[in-house]
Amino acid sequence: MSLENVTTLGAAEVGPATDSQQPPGRLWLSTFARNRLAVIGLVVIVALLLFSFVGPLFYHTDQIHTRLAMETLPPGKGRPLGTDDVGYDELGRLMVGGQTMLEVAFGAAALAVVLGVLWGAVAGYVGGFIDGLMMRIVDALLAIPALLLLLFLATVFRPSVPILILVVGVTAWLVPARLIRAEALSLRSREYVLAAKTMGVRAPTIIFRHIITNSIGTILVNATFQIADAILVVAALSFLGLGIAPPATNWGAMLSDGLNFTYSGFWWLTYPPGVAIVLTVLAFNVVGDGLRDAFGLDSKHG
Amino acid sequence: MIRFLLRRCAQAVVVLLLVSVIVFCLLHLLPGGPARAILGVHATPTAVAAFNRENGLEGPLPVQYWHWLTGVLSGNLGFSYVQNESVASLLGQRLPKTAFLAGISVVLAVLIAVPVGFYQAVRRHRAGDYILTTVTLVLYSTPAFWVAIILIDVFAVRLHVVPAEAPQGSFSEVLSDPHALVLPVLTITLVTVAAFSRYIRSSVLDELAQEYVRMARSKGAGSRVILFGHVLRNAAGPVVTLLGLSLPFIVSGTLITEYVFNYPGVGLLAFNAATSQDYPVILGVVIVVAAATVVGSLLADITHAVLDPRVRTAAGIA
């Protein structure tokens, strides 16, 4: 879905990635902390998490029962962002929608990174024919637009939060697989890996202890971008009406509802969820950029 | 060069075969198999058996796969029971419209993104770069459908300059209504510019850090000569690669845009197929788009190799 993927393709295809010069110890943390934009991004992420998960504890609204007498009221006293077309309070809805949004995004990104790291590390470490076959499978899956695949999967499985995590996760692991495979290709000829091999350490141990541990910067950076991507994908899927069933919602579904009222000028139904999506994705992208600089990875390590 | 070509083509064939295996697996992932998905859950076992016999869905899976693959290769992409029309003919009507919409938008996007990316790279860490980087990053983080909604809200609802619905009907009817094409084209262009210019900025920055630039500079070549004589040519490679590889991204953006503006292209076809459980159509679209992507990235790699000899030798490793 994202082009961040494409940015990485050329580098992965031309050969092993140049080794990442990771600053030792906690140096990357202080580099990151000095990047003002990235820190702001992190603050925004924390604020969004608090807004979505802690907010409803302070701002009580009924997000289960519709109240048709209260539909599409403009913002006013007691309803800072107005109400939607079935009478839900829009601000409260934004919080509930944020919960499912962030749950799916974190879950799908975690699944994609775990799958991709294992696949890429094994392919890169084993090499040869197996590597070629594993990477061609990745190529084949990358050729299928994720949104089409998701359309198909979303009609086969009834979407819920766990199903969405699964569906988005299994379509998103390809980029981390390519990145980690490139890392593994360069790491497997390192002296300490060769030494471990000579001492008879088994391949799974080497993969976990040396290959994956030493790619941690790339993994962390990619995971951050994966969350941003997952939010866009889930929002798109929900916008197309294949997301999550009411009364549950997310920001994409809210935008989809709001689209019908653009002509009526009900701006409070489209701009708040839209701004929420952009703000969240932007925050994760900025933090990802910051982490990438902190780990000293070049821009092709998206 | 010949070795590179053969190698790259062989790879593309393998990838295409794997795509076909994946789509075939998806077909069998359907609850109760393709027969149940098409005939419905209440179909009698005899009806299911008859359907399977007619459509070559009997026997072991490899045999079924072979039957299906030979069909696809001869242009038989299946039959839409919902629309009572073959998938190939549905795609034939709609592909030109989507290719047209996506084509104009991508050409516009390249025409805008290349100068913008160059400008940003050359003026790195100055006000102009910061402003453009911020704008493209915000746009890059904005979902295509929200871009579309804002455009509709501003240009169609408030200013009344262009209609919010895309032109309808056949390809020639679509062409005859350029006014209605403005917003869909603008949506895809904006989203694509955001992604492309970020990529072009970083490729140009990579090129500017190369030794040949320093060499040219120390010879006394002016920055104009360096930029247009050397860097532009070397940065053309990454741009070609980008075009080849971004097809899935563009398809996703086009699908959303067609949905919002009700543009009668392949994206809307796939979306309607998904909501009406018309599986042969979705999978037909998947096959065609995936094949186009594989061929696109093959062509991009070949062009890149023609432009830049280093790629030919380096590709031996991958």
- In A, residues 162-191, which contact B (CB 8 Å cutoff)? none
SS3 at position A83: strand
pLDDT by residue (tens digit) across A240-253?
877 777 777 888 88
Closest CA–CA distance from residue A68 to any residue of chain B (Å) = 25
Q: Which residue of A has its CA nearest to B248?
A: A145
> Please, what is the average pLDDT of chain A?
79
Q: Which residue of A has its CA nearest to B18?
A: A140
pLDDT of residue B23: 84
pLDDT of residue A24: 57
Size of interface A-B (CB pairs under 8 A): 191
Predicted confidence (pLDDT) at residue B49 exceeds the cutoff of 90: no
CA A136, A137, A139, A144 torsion-angle sign: positive
Distances (CA, A) of A137 to B11, B20, B143, B302: 11, 11, 28, 21
Contacts of B297 in chain A (CB under 8 A): 143
pLDDT of residue A110: 92
Q: Which two tokens stand for residue A286?
A: 């900025």
In a domain, A127, yes or no: yes
Give kind and range of the element (H or E) at residue B141: none
In a domain, A3, yes or no: no
Distances (CA, A) of B268 to A101, B80, B95, B262, B263: 25, 15, 11, 7, 7
Closest Cβ opposite residue B248 in set A137, A143, A255: A143
CATH 1.10.3720.10: which residues of chain B?
93-315
pLDDT-above-70 percentage for chain A: 86
Predicted confidence (pLDDT) at residue A22 exceeds the cutoff of 90: no
Cβ proximity of A234 and A249 under 8 Å: no
CA–CA separation, B122 vs B130, rounded Å?
A: 12
pLDDT by residue (tens digit) across B230-263?
777 777 777 887 887 788 888 888 888 998 888 8
Range of the domain at A116: 44-58+68-301
CB spacing of A2 vs B138 below 8 angstroms: no
Contacts of B137 in chain A (CB under 8 A): 282, 285-286
Q: Which residue of A has its CA nearest to B249?
A: A1
Predicted confidence (pLDDT) at residue B283 exceeds the cutoff of 90: no
Interface test with A, best of B87, B145, B160 (most A CBs within 10 A): B145
- The verdict on whether omega for the bond into residue A247 sits within 30 degrees of 0, i.e. cis, is yes
Which residue in this structure is represented by tokens 């789509």?
B23
Closest Cβ opposite residue A235 in set B143, B196, B202: B143
pLDDT-above-90 percentage for chain B: 2
CA–CA separation, A140 vs A121, rounded Å?
A: 19
CA–CA separation, A280 vs B122, rounded Å?
A: 30
Closest CA–CA distance from residue A130 to any residue of chain B (Å) = 13
CA–CA separation, B75 vs A167, rounded Å?
A: 30
B61 or A286: which leads in pLDDT: A286
pLDDT by residue (tens digit) across A225-283?
899 989 988 888 888 877 777 777 888 888 888 777 777 777 777 888 888 999 999 99
Contacts of B234 in chain A (CB under 8 A): none
Distances (CA, A) of A178 to B21, B108, B169, B251: 21, 30, 42, 22
Q: Which residue of B has its CA nearest to A131?
A: B318
pLDDT by residue (tens digit) across B122-144?
888 888 888 888 888 888 888 88
Least Cα distance to B187 among B145, B247, B133, B250 occurs for B145
CB spacing of B286 vs A16 below 8 angstroms: no
pLDDT of residue A238: 84
The one-letter code for the residue type at B99 is: A
Based on the structure, what is the number of domains in chain A? 1
In a domain, A232, yes or no: yes
pLDDT of residue A284: 92
Contacts of A41 in chain B (CB under 8 A): none
The one-letter code for the residue type at A261 is: F
Q: What is the ipTM of this complex?
A: 0.81
CB spacing of B143 vs A241 below 8 angstroms: no
Domain of A141, CATH number, reads 1.10.3720.10
Domain B93-315 has CATH 1.10.10.10: no
